[in-house]
Amino acid sequence: MSSSIQAIRAVPSVKRSAVSNDSVKIKQLEGPFDSFEGKWSVKKLNNDTCKIKFYAEFELPFLLNAVVPKSLIEKFSDSIIESFIKKVT
C-alpha cells in the first residue's frame, strides 16, 4: 500500500496554457498517471470574494486503479485544491 501512496505523491511534469485571463489548463506530460488534464477557473464575485472551480480528468495506471481505494484518490484531489488555496491566500 505504501508504494501506491508514493506513486500518487510523485510530481508530474505538466504543460500549462492560459485559456483566458481567468482560467488555466494543465496537461500532464509525464508523471504518475496514464493521463491527467485539469482546468482552473477564477470568477470575481465582489472586491473581497472570488469563486474558484477546478476540473480534472485523469486515468490511473491499471495496477494503481486496482489497489488504491477511492478514499485515497479523493484525499489526493482535496490536497491539490488545498495547495492552490494556500498559494492564492
Average pLDDT, the chain: 76
Does 44 have pLDDT greater than 60? yes
pLDDT value at residue 87: 67
The answer to whether 56 and 38 have CB atoms below 8 angstroms apart is yes
pLDDT value at residue 47: 92
Does 32 have pLDDT greater than 60? yes
**What are the respective helix, strand and coil percentages of the chain, to the nearest 5?**
35, 40, 20
Does 43 have pLDDT greater than 80? yes
Order of strands across the sheet that contains 35-44 = 13-20, 23-30, 35-44, 50-59
In this prediction the pTM is 0.58
Does 86 have pLDDT greater than 60? yes
